[in-house]
Structure 1
Amino acid sequence: MDDQRYLYVSDYTKHEVRRYQIGDKNGTLVAGGHRNGTGLNQLYAPGYIFVDRQQSVYVSDYRNHRVMKWNKGAKKGIVVAGGQGEGSAMTQLSLPQGLFVDTLGTIYVADKANNRVMRWPKEAKQGTVIAGGNGQGAGANQFSDLE
């Protein structure tokens, strides 16, 4: 829910994010909604979302291994993290999950299959590992099932 009391819901199988006002039954499409795919107007199994004060919607595009930003009213999104295929390089994500964007536009994302949390400064071409990244396990510097 944003500070204007809109509720945002990602639909993993419809590949879309909708915004709802109180009492609204259908909602408004704000991201995706064009079947699954890799296009900038598509999502593939969207998961976690974050909405900033300008009502831009950030989406963990799970199966596309990227984080997308959809400015308010946009018909297409912008890749803001990952988007270079699935992998473990600093330019890649593998099944992104939990997501937070700070007031400077820095993105923090749980990179599930790489067992790491990454930070992507605004407009960065690659991220940095800020937690984990040491394989899956029970160690203090490891994650076992990152969301």
Structure 2
Amino acid sequence: MPNILASATWAKNGVTVAGGNGNGDAINQLLKHNRIVIDDDQTLIVADGQNDRIIQWKKGDTIGEVVAGGNGKGNGLNQLKGPRNVLIDKETDSLIICDTGRVNGLAMNDQRYLYVSDNAKQEVRRYQWGDKNGIIVAGGNGQGKHLNQLSVPTCLFVDSEQNVYMSDNWNHHVMKWAKATSNNRVMRWPQGAKQGTVVVGGNSQGAEANQFNGPRGLSFDRHDNLYVSDSNNHRVQRFSIE
């Protein structure tokens, strides 16, 4: 898990590393995909929701490989139904997949705390294994554009300092919440912070390199580069750390 400085910044323009070939079900396409994760080899794993599959893109590849689902929508053991999230559980060397539901974002830290974004309550909660209630770590102040609010929080990432990064879908940005702390942006909340800061996006809805259209997932590679699942643009964008 990367240890990202609270002062870290990223390039404002992204580079497409998966998809970007229009919407569809070919293995070089995505269709309103959701969560993304990066493994230690910089392989990108995508929950390709409306294609009912999990697809991976190795570094530098122009086409992906289906690793779960892809056999039509359904409840069979070889099928998925609009998967929204995928996690890599390193302790068991397996994928944890969340199918369609109110929960949009899942993340796990090094202590195996589970973070869950609830797009109905506009909040993120942290759970220990076996804990049914959890505690609010971001949002929880109603839906809105203020820096202490969320508007359909979707996917999450937690760094080694327990800072929470999330794609704030209807605000079109990515936010960061430091530990204890429709807009198209990614925001950062440091630990203990009461409001976040925009780190990429926030330039209204669009398809330019500095814009998003419904970001739903984000992840970091081992070099701390930021990857954003730009769902309605059917692409994954990489923002290099500066």
Q: Are 1:94 and 2:193 matched, yes or no? A: no
* TM-score normalised per structure 1: 0.77
Q: What code does the residue aligned with 2:226 have?
A: I
Q: Are 1:2 and 2:121 matched, yes or no? A: no
Q: How many matched pairs?
A: 123
Determine the C-alpha separation between the residues in 1 that align with 2:197 and 2:168.
Answer: 11
Deviation at residue 101 of structure 1 after TM alignment: 1.6
1:44-63 aligned within 5 A: 44-63=151-170
CA RMSD of aligned residues (A): 1.5
* TM-score normalised per structure 2: 0.48
CA spacing shift, 1:104–1:70, aligned 2, 3 Å = farther
Q: Which structure: larger Rg?
A: 2
Which residue is 2:149 aligned to? Answer: 42
Aligned partner of residue 232 in structure 2, secondary structure: helix
* % identity of equivalent residues: 55
Determine the C-alpha separation between the residues in 1 that align with 2:143 and 2:241.
Answer: 26
1:88-127 aligned within 5 A: 88-122=207-241
Deviation at residue 2 of structure 1 after TM alignment: 0.9
Deviation at residue 94 of structure 1 after TM alignment: 0.7
Does the CA-based 8 Å contact 1:52-1:101 persist in structure 2? no
Which residue is 1:83 aligned to? Answer: 202
Aligned partner of residue 42 in structure 1, secondary structure: coil
Determine the C-alpha separation between the residues in 2 that align with 1:26 and 1:104.
Answer: 34
5+ unaligned residues in a row in structure 1: which ranges? 124-147
1:16-27 aligned within 5 A: 16-27=123-134
User: Over residues 13-63 of structure 1, what are the superposed CA-to-partner deviations in whole Å (9 max), with x where a residue is unaligned?
Assistant: 111111112333321111111111111111100111111111111111111
Bigger relative contact order, structure 1 or 2 (CA pairs below 8 A, ≥6 apart): 2
Determine the C-alpha separation between the residues in 2 that align with 1:29 and 1:6.
Answer: 13
Aligned partner of residue 71 in structure 1, secondary structure: strand
Deviation at residue 122 of structure 1 after TM alignment: 3.5
Aligned partner of residue 37 in structure 1, secondary structure: coil
5+ unaligned residues in a row in structure 2: which ranges? 1-107, 181-192
Could you list the structure 1 runs, at least 4 aligned residues long, displaced by more than 6 angstroms after superposition. none
